[in-house]
A = this chain, B = another copy of it.
Amino acid sequence: NQPLTLIAGPCQLESADHAQMIAGTLAEICQRTGAQFIFKGSYDKANRTSLSGTRGLGMEAGLKILEGVRAAFGCPVLTDIHEREQCAEVASVVDVLQIPAFLCRQTDLLIAAGETGAAINIKKGQFLAPWDMANVASKVASTGNNRIMLTERGVSFGYNTLVTDMRSLPTMARTGYPVVMDATHSVQQPGGQGNSSGGQREFAPVMARTAVSLGIAAVFIETHQDPDNAPSDGPNMIYLDQMDRLMTSLMAFDALAKADPLRP
């Protein structure tokens, strides 16, 4: 029953300066609004729609940037991993390892991640029912690591479209693990622009607010000072200069939701 956590940052890590700028802005917003803060950034986009999409800076450069963010702002940092070999090295720097949605059933990756002892944020596959995340979490928990978070990021709804079923949040909460709403990937339009994914940035606050009103643990938001020129996920990222207003609003809904929990 803690205040809302914001997991946020750019889709891709771009440079140390860029990460520091975004992390600094978000850390300040969270301090002012009373939110907890975890900085998020990816060093590799391993499953772009097409080969022409920018991949990222790579693990070594990325981890250095994440380490710098943690040192500068004292916040935990999160990144996503794609192969089991990466888990140990990434976990030596990062506080939260994230399992991408497409990979949420890859047993070896889940176990390798769990064995690091880091917190593990598992994104629910676009092809998975919320109740099936209990089996997914059990794979990680089998390592003795129960520091698990489960993230909703939308489910397949016809072609090139996702829908978010709000029932998934209380359903996943039955596992006892903290539940996260990914407010920006849930408004993605996968493959919707031919060689890259589209998105409906304007609806990300709708996803965030409705989920927060249910008393979830955390909201996940990708943000950028100039989304239209970001190397990936521009169409669904939120403008950095709108994060202050958004978090102020979300914290009010969070306080109300946590004072008035929905009965299970």
Q: Identify the A interface with B (CB < 8 A).
A: 46-51, 55, 82-84, 102-103, 105-108, 125-129, 131-132, 135, 138-139, 142, 155-161, 163-167, 169-170, 187, 190-191, 195, 200, 202-203, 205-207, 209-214, 249, 252-253, 256, 260, 262-264
Contacts and interface: CB of A to CB of B under 8 A. Distances in A.
B126 A156 contact: yes
Contacts of A108: 46, 82-83
Contacts of A203: 167, 170
Given A127-B190, A256-B256, A51 B102 contact: no
Nearest to A207: B166
B107 A138 contact: no
A209 B214 contact: yes
A86 B204 CA distance: 39
- Chain A at the B interface: SS class: loop
B129 A191 contact: yes
A63 B205 CA distance: 43
A135 B191 contact: yes
Given A108-B46, A125-B127, A135-B51, A157 B160 contact: no
A125 B125 CA distance: 11
B160 A107 contact: no
A46 to B, nearest CB: 6
Nearest to A83: B83
Contact of A47 (B107, B156, B169, B260): B107
B127 A213 contact: no
